[in-house]
Structures are given as structure tokens and as C-alpha cells.
Amino acid sequence: LQAIREKYQRLHENRKIELYWICGDDVFTWIEKPKGVETMAEVSGLIVQRRLHKGTTKDSFYKEELDETKIRAIGLRLNLAISFIYGELPHFSSTLVRNAPGRWRSFLPQSVASFFPESNLVITINSKVRNP
């Protein structure tokens, strides 16, 4: 994230570069751990998709409980703009998106995909975040 910010800041010296991370609501399970705090220092905000998570049995899914008061406090502490996209989506993961080159747009709600015209460059980072 630091390298991306630096690269785009050099290309657009006169503009403030803002990075927004589009993620699932499971981000709140690790965001306040050391690696999460370090990562969040590099972004201006989060666009969080509420989604269904795989349960313990083959065909079970559940919706993560979120404490909105706690989330607002996290945003203030970490200086993050946090926006939510509501609406049920089937389970999907970053792995599914990465393995579908050229079709990433189909995994996004229309309200998010509309932020990225066909001509815009969208950078994806192939990484796994692990809880410390």
C-alpha cells in the first residue's frame, strides 16, 4: 500500500491520493490488531460489503454481527471513512475474484462497480491478511 501510494503521488504531484479498500465485513475481526492498524494507516477509508459467511456445515451461511457504535469509534480512532454497502450477496472471496481475471466487475454490486469506469485502472493486490 505504501508503494502504491508513493507511485501515484509521484504521478499526480498536485493531488492528494486517497486509497479506499473494498473489503468484506470480516475486516472488523482484525482491524484493531497491530497488522490491521498498520494497514489502515495507509488507506483513507473502507468500503465494506455486508455478506454471508460460510458456516460450519456444508450449506450453512451466517451474517456477521456488527456493533455500529464500535465501528464508528474505530473509524474515529484510525481516521478512516467507513461506508457500508448493504444487501445480501452469496458467499464469495478475494480468491474467487483474483481467479476470474477480466470478470472482477461481476463480483461487485452495481453501486460499487459504477465507481470504476471501464477506462479506469483498478489495482488488485494478491495477498492474504493473517491475524497475528
How confident is the model over 22-70, as pLDDT tens digits? 888 888 889 999 999 999 998 999 988 777 767 788 778 777 778 888 8
> E-assigned strands of 50-130?
52-54, 61-63, 81-85
The per-residue pLDDT for 79 is 93
How far is the first Cα of the chain from the last one, in angstroms, to the nearest whole number? 19
Quick check: 22 and 59 in contact, CB under 8 A?
no
Q: How confident is residue 81, by pLDDT bands cut at 50, 70 and 90?
A: very high
Asked if pLDDT for residue 92 goes beyond 70, the answer is no
Rounded CA gap, 128 and 27, in Å?
Answer: 12
Question: H helices within 16-62, ranges in order?
Answer: 34-40
Question: What's the predicted TM-score (pTM) here?
Answer: 0.61
